[in-house]
Amino acid sequence: MAAITATATASSTSSDRQAAWTRLQTYRRQLAADLIPVQASPQTINTDRAAVAAAEAEVARIEGVRTVTAGKVASTAVQAESAAIASERSSADSQRSSAAVASSAPVPSRSSAAAPASAPAGSRASADTAAVTGLPYGRSLDVTV
């Protein structure tokens, strides 16, 4: 900021005082002109506030669209997961029912259920062992009768 000083002496004449006053007014006008860009009229301030409010509304709208889109994606993913679980359950139920039907068949005696000759020693594969697959979450179950 410019500092404006004026000194008056008792020996100064009227013309000197007038010249000092004129310089003071010139400096004051120059200072005011320098500050005009910083100062804004109420109309400019209101226009700027309206522009900021419009920009904030647009940002809120875009965020809302993103939220809705994310919600739809999440909803679709949940529906797909629910369908997959339902499919696994129905598959497991059908396999359980077929396993129940198979278990109601006559069971051969232990003496006749010898391991096949081609099975390696220590192998669990025999006529009285069955594997149940297709359980939820990729699990399987070995059933020995």
User: Taking the alpha carbons of 116, 117, 118, 121 in that order, is the dihedral positive or negative?
Assistant: positive
**What are the phi and psi torsion angles at 141 (to 5°)?**
-140, 125
Give dist(CA 141, CA 133) in Å, integer.
6
Tens digits of pLDDT across the chain (145 residues): 455 555 555 556 788 888 899 999 999 888 887 776 666 777 887 888 888 888 888 888 888 877 777 777 777 777 888 888 888 888 777 777 766 655 555 555 444 444 444 444 444 444 455 566 665 666 666 655 5
Find how far residue 101's CA is from the centre of its chain: 49
* Tokens read off for 80: 């797909």
How far is 57 from 42, CA to CA, in rounded Å?
22
Q: Give the pLDDT confidence of 9-31 residue by residue, as tens digits.
A: 555 678 888 889 999 999 988 88
